[in-house]
Structure formats: structure tokens, C-alpha cells
Amino acid sequence: MASRYDCTDSDGLLTGMRLARAALGRGDLVVVPTDTVYGLAADAFNAAAVQRLLDAKGRTRQSPPPVLIPGPPTLDALASDVPQQVRDLVAEFWPGGLTVILRAQPSLDWDLGETRGTVALRMPDSRIALELLQEVGPLAVSSANSTGDPAAMDVDAAERMLGDSVAVYLDGGAIGEHEGFEASTGSTIVDATGLSDGGKLRIVRHGVISDDEITRVVGADLVG
């Protein structure tokens, strides 16, 4: 039976975070608010938990989840080659709605699915998500919805779609209500793996950070 905690209340936040940490440690799933959408989270280093995440969403291993991290220092721990242009983007837009695809460190003991040696990383601009990440480390996080349905912008929508496949729901209110902007488009995703080979950065998904803002930081000649 899933548990739900009102994280706008100090007691609910304290209890919810404690039980969320325990659930993630057991390999269970947690729904957590981010700055863009509600996310379905699993321990990134627990292959069985990541598979539960994919199963709950109705996804295959061909759709590996992104990884949320607590800050830029974790970037070098998880990615093997971070071009300067990516560091410039991170300095400008993290924490925030930018997801960067990089080559993963080959020594990492994890299984996110068919990643082809890459990892998609983001530092969210969300107090609740960042606090959880700082306590438990990197989390595999995908939008808290069934595949094909709109991303959940509040915990009610997430619970309707995911039900008891989730152990703990952290309710931080409607997304946008407390973050100060409408974020239903999700994060902007850029693939930076080509930069290391003299190629260009590719915008994979157009999200809350505009293409013009990406180009302003990286330079038009390096955006393909």
C-alpha cells in the first residue's frame, strides 16, 4: 500500500523524506516533485529498482531514464568526458530545466537500460528533490506517468497513473504553483556526446530552456 505525505507541512516533509530514503534503500519507487514535472525515482545503482521504474511506466530498456544529481561535482563522477561547452551550460542553467547527455564513466556499476554508454544528467531546481538527492545520491528519475499519458503536474495525477507500484508519494503541491513558472514542457534535453569528437551539440527535446538560450551559451556554430 502506497503512502503519501504532504511536504508543504514540516511534519509531513520530515516523515515523508525519512520513509522515502528507506524506500529507495530497499529498491522501491518514490514519486517526488521536481521543478518541471513530478518524477518517478529509483536508486540509480540498483538495477532491479530501475527495472521496476521502467515496468511501472510501461517502458522497455530501450528508453533508459535520466539521472538526477545533487550538483555539478557529481557530473565528473558519472560522465567520462565533459566538454567546456557543457560546463558553461551547467554554470548557466543548473539547477534548472536542462538535461545533458554525456558519455558515462565506463567503471560505473549500474544498469539503466540500453544507454549505449551514455547517461542523461540533470540537477533539478527543487528544494525537496535536491534534499533527497543530497541524502541518497544519484537517482534514476523519469516523469511520473504511464507511457503515452501527459506528465503528472501534481501528486494526484501521478497516483492515479502509478498507484501501488510506488511506495512513497511526496506531495509538494502543483508544479509551477511554488516554482514561479509554468513548466509543463519538461526539461530541455541536449546531446553533447558529439562535441568530444569535434562535432556539434544536438537539441533532443525542446523544453523550458529555449533553443536561443542554448545557442547563446554554446555558440550557433556548435549547435546542430
The overall pTM is greater than 0.85: yes
Strand order in the sheet with 38-43: 3-6, 168-171, 30-33, 38-43, 139-143, 67-68, 118-122, 98-103, 188-191, 202-205
Distance CA 109, CA 117 (A): 12
Is the pLDDT score of 185 beyond 90?
Answer: no
Question: Is the pLDDT reported for residue 89 higher than 80?
Answer: yes
Query: Closest Cα to residue 101, out of 185, 216, 189?
Result: 189
pLDDT at 184: 55
Return the closest-CA partner of residue 46 out of 118, 140, 130: 140
Average pLDDT over residues 112-116: 96
How many Cβ atoms from other residues are within 10 Å of residue 160's Cβ? 12
Q: Which amino acid is at 136?
A: V
- At 110, give phi and psi (nearest 5°): -150, 170
Residue 39 amino acid letter: G
